[in-house]
Structure 1
Amino acid sequence: MTGYPRSRDDDQGKPVSESTPTAAHEFTHSDFKPSILDDLSLSRAELLVLTDEASAMTTAGQRIREIGDFDMSLIGRVEVDGVMVHRSWQGTKSNALHRLVVPEGIGLGGKSILLQQPVWVRDYLSDPGITHDFDALVKEEALRGMLAVPMSYEGHVLGAMYVGTREYSSFGDRVIAEIQSIADTAAVTLLSAQRAATQTELALEAERKRLAESLHDSVSPVLFRIGAELQSLRALGDAQAIHDRLEEITEQVHAVNASIRRSLTDLTARPPERNLPVGIEEDCQAFTLRTGIPARFVPLTESPDLDASRVEALQRLVREALVNVEKHADASTVVVSLSARSGRVTVVISDDGRGVDGTDDSKRGSQLGLGLAAGRLERLGGGMSVVSDDESGTTVRGWVDALEGPST
């Protein structure tokens, strides 16, 4: 069909009018009449306050791709300084558009964000209605027809969703309306996740402030008193009196040290059942800082009190799985979850990158690491599984029983 536009039909099954063959087409929200059901769906999504943001974006990308049997989909999120970064993708042939930084007004997605409305082109490379800063990258993906729809909520643009074909295409009103509906729901998910993160940060900041004030109130008066005592020594001529004062000051210094140690213990101490969640959270943060790939930890249930060998075995699996993602997956997001049900504790590490190829020699070192982690779990009566494919990435699952057992 090269050279002939493929039409995405409207509700009546008729091709959409194409009065401006080469210009980018723009649609306002008034073109679509949201139903009461749509409003209820958005309200329900807001109340759910979805926590697994990365998984939700992957699911949304799959849904919009399926609406018109599109060749690929992309989802970008507005991040630092108002620029958008592509964070989720389905059906791409290369990594040309992965993690691409898109300023407002630039390209198709940037124009969609600027106008806050859907924009589509029949042939990206020749359309005069968009800038062509990313032509080389789009050409590498062999894309022609593309549609970008903003993800916005109450006037705040949070990102954009794209679908594309590798042949000339137009996009009907029904298809655009369906993708816009998914984008609106995804915007609520993103905003809810951001609000939840903000609330967590505020709670942590309040706790840090409380501990700082407590430390200040307990230590500062003693330090002031020690300083005053040292100044008063200058006026003493009796060696014995100076010695006695120094002994008093020494006791005060010991008291300050003890107070600081107690405060530091309070800051670092945690109950045994928090060892595994805290360790996984630290590993995810280190992975994100090291690679730039967002890794989110989602505790689905409270973690039980595990012995040290079980904690170490599960955390070792998380670390090995994250190393695999870093070296081989070309993923945009990673989600690590922890749950405890029916006496079994399970960790799941999911990425949206390339699947694992067991015949690839370059990955055998990483597979060896996973094998050793699996062996440790099996010695504790647990196990591990790996499910992988090119479309949905790789999911590594490990589990142990939450019963006390001998250390290894």
Structure 2
Amino acid sequence: MNGLSNAGGKKDRGKPVSESTHTAAHEFKHSDVRTSILDDLALSRAELLVLTDEASAMTTAGQRIREIDAFDMSLVGRIEVDGAMVHRSWQGTQSNALHRLVVPEGVGLGGKSIMLQKPVWVRDYLSDAGITHDFDALVAQESLRGMLAVPMVYEGRVLGAVYVGTREYSSFGDRVIAEIQSTAATAAVTLVSAQRAAAQTELAIEAERNRLAESLHDSVSPVLFRIGAELQSLRALGDAQAIHDRLQEITDQVHAVNASIRRSLTDLSARPPERELPVGIEEDCQSFALRTGIPARFVPLTESPDLDASRVEALQRLVREALVNVEKHADASTVVVSLSVRSGRVTVVISDDGRGVDGADDPARGSQLGLGLAAGRLERLGGGMSVVSDDENGTTVRGWVDAIDGSGA
């Protein structure tokens, strides 16, 4: 194994080890961090990273740090509420004990790392005297021994931490720690970029809301004011016919206001045919995230064609069934849904990073029954569906139909 030596059943990763190896949490002070070309680009051109999101950034960081020295598992946590960190991404775990765990500052290994703003490692988590042991029972469920936590810091602000762990006694040397620091630094830049991109999107949505509010105010408010004034003027009228005529005028004005509001609401909800499927998928992803707390990202890779209603419904039903399966069975930390059109075929792909599901080769079985029904709809339209699933990489559901538009062309 690269960067690994064995001594008496214990492993030293990335030697040399610059700190002593007595039983206490070790703080890393080495700052010579070497970055790859891609990481240099990420650090110097953060604006290029706006196509990712926070969940994807954390998943990528977890994958990269685990591959540095073939660690048994990795975790990525993000600072969320009252300075506490929440584990949001994981690779190689054997249970859900550490999933979505809330880690206050200073508590455990990760909490100490974010408090000190520096890497901290232990050879044996369960017996180390340098950390608190609030999470020992959870760590024991994972059979972890050696662990390293590295904070993600951007311009002096701690965003969270990344961890790697082994299921044997291990030390962590300068090279490994430096490489993980590099990955953590890149992840921090990516997280900030994703947050800024999300903020820009919210600003654009808010600006559109303000525009619509101003439009409604300018068109409706004067009419409402006039209606109120005319109602007040009824008090001065003594003739029943005059009152009746004035009430008819007011009724006509109310109808006009109602029609104006209806037109505005129709404009708000109207979708061009080519946007029907992307908007529907985005709404499903948002509903899934709100319902489960699991980030779900929609990525439209190409422009969507103007599909007929049956194809839109079949593809969207597949997305919904796949998301339901993730919610019930996958124990995933993130979901990505993509939409693309190539060679006249429209394809949706739903991928999660959870555990695999039984019956992937036969979606009509067991928990996959809903997917089997969705596959039948696609097949009747000349399309199809595939499911690839395993414990390490999660599940990927792919569905496709030919891109025949709503006019039948």
Q: TM-score per shorter chain, which class? A: over 0.9
Q: Aligned residue pairs: how many?
A: 402
Work out whether 1:100 is the aligned partner of 2:101.
yes
Partners of 2:296 and 2:49 in 1: how far apart?
22
Is there any run of 5+ residues in structure 1 with no aligned partner, and where? none
Q: Answer whether contact 1:52 1:298 (CA < 8 A) is retained.
A: no
> How large is the RMSD of aligned CA atoms in angstroms?
2.3
Q: Answer whether contact 1:112 1:160 (CA < 8 A) is retained.
A: yes
Q: How does 1:98-177 map to 2 (within 5 A)?
A: 98-177=99-178
Question: Which residue number in structure 1 is paired with residue 14 of structure 2?
Answer: 9
CA spacing shift, 1:325–1:36, aligned 2, 3 Å: closer
Question: Which residue number in structure 1 is paired with residue 339 of structure 2?
Answer: 338
Counterpart residue type for residue 348 of structure 2: V
Counterpart residue type for residue 269 of structure 1: A
Q: How does 1:189-204 map to 2 (within 5 A)?
A: 189-204=190-205
Partners of 2:36 and 2:142 in 1: how far apart?
39
Partners of 2:241 and 2:47 in 1: how far apart?
74
Q: Answer whether contact 1:45 1:185 (CA < 8 A) is retained.
A: no
The structural deviation recorded for 1:164 is 0.5
Question: Which residue number in structure 1 is paired with residue 400 of structure 2?
Answer: 399
Give CA deviations for 1:34-80 in whole Å, capped at 9, x if unaligned. 56956445224552324254344333322211212211111111223
Question: Which residue number in structure 2 is paired with residue 325 of structure 1?
Answer: 326
Partners of 1:89 and 1:81 in 2: how far apart?
22
Work out whether 1:31 is the aligned partner of 2:67.
no
Partners of 1:193 and 1:94 in 2: how far apart?
29
Question: Which residue number in structure 2 is paired with residue 178 of structure 1?
Answer: 179
Secondary structure at the aligned position of 1:31 is classed as: coil
The structural deviation recorded for 1:310 is 0.7
Secondary structure at the aligned position of 2:405 is classed as: coil
Q: Answer whether contact 1:344 1:402 (CA < 8 A) is retained.
A: yes
Secondary structure at the aligned position of 2:106 is classed as: coil
Question: Which residue number in structure 2 is paired with residue 364 of structure 1?
Answer: 365
Work out whether 1:240 is the aligned partner of 2:245.
no
Counterpart residue type for residue 115 of structure 1: L
CA spacing shift, 1:363–1:390, aligned 2, 3 Å: farther
The structural deviation recorded for 1:3 is 7.3
TM-score by length of 1: 0.92
Question: Which residue number in structure 2 is paired with residue 273 of structure 1?
Answer: 274
Work out whether 1:383 is the aligned partner of 2:384.
yes
Counterpart residue type for residue 383 of structure 2: G
Is there any run of 5+ residues in structure 2 with no aligned partner, and where? 1-5
Partners of 1:128 and 1:362 in 2: how far apart?
50
Question: Which residue number in structure 2 is paired with residue 215 of structure 1?
Answer: 216
Q: Answer whether contact 2:35 2:179 (CA < 8 A) is retained.
A: no
Give CA deviations for 1:162-198 in whole Å, capped at 9, x if unaligned. 0011111110000000111111111122111111111
Question: Which residue number in structure 2 is paired with residue 294 of structure 1?
Answer: 295
The structural deviation recorded for 1:158 is 1.7
Give CA deviations for 1:221-274 in whole Å, capped at 9, x if unaligned. 111111111111111111121122112111111111111111111111111111
The structural deviation recorded for 1:25 is 1.0
Q: Answer whether contact 1:293 1:332 (CA < 8 A) is retained.
A: yes
CA spacing shift, 1:42–1:6, aligned 2, 3 Å: same
Q: Answer whether contact 1:51 1:298 (CA < 8 A) is retained.
A: no
Give CA deviations for 1:280-337 in whole Å, capped at 9, x if unaligned. 1111122122222221212222211111011000000001101111111111111111
Question: Which residue number in structure 1 is paired with residue 3 of structure 2?
Answer: none
Counterpart residue type for residue 285 of structure 1: Q
Secondary structure at the aligned position of 1:301 is classed as: coil
Counterpart residue type for residue 70 of structure 1: F
Work out whether 1:306 is the aligned partner of 2:307.
yes
Secondary structure at the aligned position of 1:176 is classed as: helix
Partners of 1:233 and 1:359 in 2: how far apart?
73
Q: Answer whether contact 1:338 1:347 (CA < 8 A) is retained.
A: yes
Partners of 2:295 and 2:137 in 1: how far apart?
27
Counterpart residue type for residue 6 of structure 1: K
